[in-house]
Each structure stands twice: as structure tokens, then as C-alpha cells.
Amino acid sequence: MTTPLPPTPASPARFVRRVLFKAALLFVALNLLFVAASPMPLLGRLTLYNTVLPGRLRLPYGTDPAKAYNLSLYNLEAMFASQALARPKSAGEYRVLLVGDSSVWGYLLPAHQTLAAQLNDLHLTTADGRRVVAYNLGYPILSLTKDLLLLSRLAVYDPDQIVWLITLESFPPDKQLFPPLVQNNAPAVRGLIAQYALSLNPHDPQLVNPSLWDRTLIGQRRPLADLLRLQLYGFLWAATGIDQDLPADYPPRAEDLAADESFHGLTPPHTLTTTDLAFDVLAAGVQAAGDTPLLLVNEPMFVSAGQNSDLRYNFFYPRWAYDAYRVLLAQAADAHAWRYLDLWDAVANTEYTDSPIHLTPLGESQLAARLGSAVLAVAADQP
């Protein structure tokens, strides 16, 4: 009987090739599985905030994490999960959500001096005894579509009232898809365009369309790292309260203005109409609030008394355009029975910082006093 020969051992080089080949197959499989599962929204909901860490007082936004324990990211689930709004609604709480631009977010202000914080400092109580608790859902960069993107996600947080602060610079068509937050949430934005029949191009090249590679585990390494950084910065933020770099000096808002009456390519004698502005997005935002009462507020702005102030109110607005906008906004509010409050001149001109809409702490307190009365009035109208 012939004894079988023992198998010839594989050479080291052949063994290494087999291991590398299997590792490559596993790598490809993991990346394809990541693409198929699309887990980024789910991963964004995994958070230490409101449990191990307190919830942030405003949505994460920042450009220099070395100076402030904050960062900008585009994962909406992670942004909302990190905010104090995500905690359960307490007994006796009348929940008010403030939506708007960087003036609401509180640019150049610590979190405890923003509009939401100063509303809370008023210790307002509704007629039925509930405590008014305001939450800061403002986010920098002027765009009604950016606001609509946030408004469309608020119903799950059981709001009792939404206050949407707006200004004319959020209305021009060229501003609607400009914010990176909008561009990097293209599927959600396209859904809103279709849902509300908005006059925006769902195929606009500004909307980011990730490639297959971009959606792989490797392609998503930066967003994944941002999710981790948001959690890690939370410990430093909770210990220090620093979520924004506050420079000692900054360029003040312009007092002397250019002799220019143009507004986003429009000049007199053009008559501003609703077709020149994103009033359809405004109407969609009001509709997105659903059954929650929404108060629309034309936010305060700086009015220059310097050179060429007869032509322009400020750096943003020529007088002819802003005056027409206020008329159009009031007419739309009346036609649609919107709750509307025009506070364009509610804050003293001395209380603006680096832009026509950013306020000092005193300016925010002046606005909070006016807004607090309106919030209680809306609450009193509710059944």
C-alpha cells in the first residue's frame, strides 16, 4: 500500500497573497455594505449629549475648534441630538423654538446672552401657568431654504410655539441654495422642493451629489471623524461653556455706505415684487410648522446715519428695496392670516456689532422684551 505524500506547504509569498486577497475582498464588502446601509443618520443619533453631557444651548457651528469647542458638520441628526431641545419636555413647560439666522444663533455672543437665553431669563409664564422655555434653533448664513430645512424637522420635539425671525437678505433666489448645510443635505432639500412645489432647481449644481466612492466607509471618514469630534468637544464645552471664539476687537458695522442702490442685481426704477423673492419658501416654512402656532418676525436691523444713508439703510439694504419688502411681507401676512410682527426698528442703533443684524447683549435684551410679550400673546390665543 502506497503511503500518501503529505501536502506541500504553501510558500510564504503565496500565503501572504491569499491573506491580502481575502483582506481586499473583506474591505470591498464592508464598504459596499456601508453604502447599502447608509448608516450616517443612525450614527448621528448616537450621542452623549443630554445624558452623560448636557445638551448644547445652540446648534453646533464653528470654524476654529482650537479656539472654541465646537465645529460645523452637516449631519442634521447629530446636530439636533446634541442640542438641549432633544431632552424630554418637562412638566409645565411651554416650549418655544426660535428659528433664524446668525443673529438668532448669537454671532459674537456667548451662549448665555443669545436671544433664546435672554427670553428664558425673563421667566415668562403663560396664562395657564406653564413656564416659557425657549430653545435656540438659529443657524448662520442667511437663507429661507436653510430655515425651511430646519423647520421641517421640529414637529418631533413637541413645540408649543415656533418663532421664525427673518430679514430681506434671506429672500433673494441666489441665497436659497448657498448655505453649505443646504448643499450637503441635497436629498432632504429635493424632498422639500417637491413637497412644496418650490421654484428651486432640484438639479442645481450647488447641491452636492456624493459619488459611490464618497458614500463608502473610506469616503465618509471625515463625516465620521466629525461625529466623534462633536462628542469629544462636548466634554471641553461642558467644562468651560466656550462654543464660539469671541474676539476682543472686530470690524464694526458700516456707518458710511457706498452710493449704490442695487440689491442682488435689481436697481431702481424696478418695483420689487414677490416673484423677485423666495416668498414660496416663506409660505412653505409656515406650512411646515403644521398645527404648531408660528410667529413670523421681521428682525431688527441697523439704520445708518452716515454717508449715503439717504440711499441705503445699511450695508445690506437700499431703502427702496427694504421699504418694498416690508410692504410685501405685511401684505402676504394679511392675505394668508399669518401671525406677523415687524420689529425692524425695535433695537437702538448703538446695539449692533459687526453687521446690520448682529446684536450686542443689550440689543438682545431689548429684542427679548418685545418678543416676550408677543410670545405670551400667541400662547393666550391657543385653545
Q: Which residues lie across from 137 on neighbouring strands?
A: 99
Higher local confidence (pLDDT), 347 or 4: 347
Report the topology of domain 42-378: Rossmann fold (3.40.50)
342: cell is 415687524
**How many other CB atoms sit within 10 Å of the CB of residue 11?**
9
Task: Give me the pLDDT at residue 59, please.
Answer: 98
Compute φ and ψ for 9, nearest 5 degrees: -60, 140
Tell me: pLDDT of 336 over 60. yes
Higher local confidence (pLDDT), 211 or 51: 51
Number of residues that make up the chain? 383
* Peptide bond before residue 269 is cis, with ω within 30 degrees of 0: yes
Reported confidence tier of residue 19, pLDDT bands at 50, 70, 90: low
Share of the chain above pLDDT 70, in %: 92
Residue with cell 419688502: 325
Task: Give me the pLDDT at residue 383, please.
Answer: 74
Judge contact between 378 and 339, C-beta under 8 A.
yes
Residue 76's closest CA among 47, 98, 103?
47
Judge contact between 97 and 163, C-beta under 8 A.
yes
Judge contact between 350 and 304, C-beta under 8 A.
no
Q: Rounded distance, CA 323 to CA 330, Å?
A: 11
Task: Give me the pLDDT at residue 167, please.
Answer: 98
Q: Rounded distance, CA 348 to CA 377, Å?
A: 24
Reported confidence tier of residue 78, pLDDT bands at 50, 70, 90: very high
Q: Which amino acid is at 236?
A: L
19: cell is 491573506
Q: Which amino acid is at 23?
A: A
Judge contact between 44 and 32, C-beta under 8 A.
no
Sign of CA dihedral 19, 24, 27, 29: negative
Residue with cell 500565503: 15
Q: Find the helix or strand (DSSP H, E) in which 135 lies.
A: strand 131-138
Residue 20: burial class (beta carbons within 10 Å; 0-12, 13-18, 19+): exposed
Tell me: pLDDT of 63 over 80. no
Tell me: pLDDT of 28 over 80. no
Tell me: pLDDT of 8 over 80. no
What burial letters (b/e) apply to 334-355, b meaning 16+ CB within 10 Å? eeeebbbbebbebbebebbbeb
Q: What are the residue boundaries of the structural domains of the chain, listed by start? A: 42-378
Read off the pLDDT of each residue in 304-323 and give the average, rounded to a whole number.
Answer: 98
Q: Rounded distance, CA 171 to CA 7, Å?
A: 77
313: cell is 439703510
Task: Give me the pLDDT at residue 5, please.
Answer: 59
Read off the pLDDT of each residue in 305-312 and give the average, rounded to a whole number.
Answer: 98
Residue with cell 452623560: 52
Tell me: pLDDT of 4 over 90. no
pLDDT tens per residue across span 246-284: 998 999 999 999 999 999 999 999 999 999 999 999 999
Tell me: pLDDT of 1 over 60. no
Tell me: pLDDT of 2 over 70. no
Considering the chain, what is the average pLDDT of its residues?
93
Higher local confidence (pLDDT), 161 or 36: 161
Read off the pLDDT of each residue in 331-352 and give the average, rounded to a whole number.
Answer: 98
**How many other CB atoms sit within 10 Å of the CB of residue 36?**
9
Residue 165's closest CA among 198, 142, 184?
142
Task: Give me the pLDDT at residue 153, please.
Answer: 97
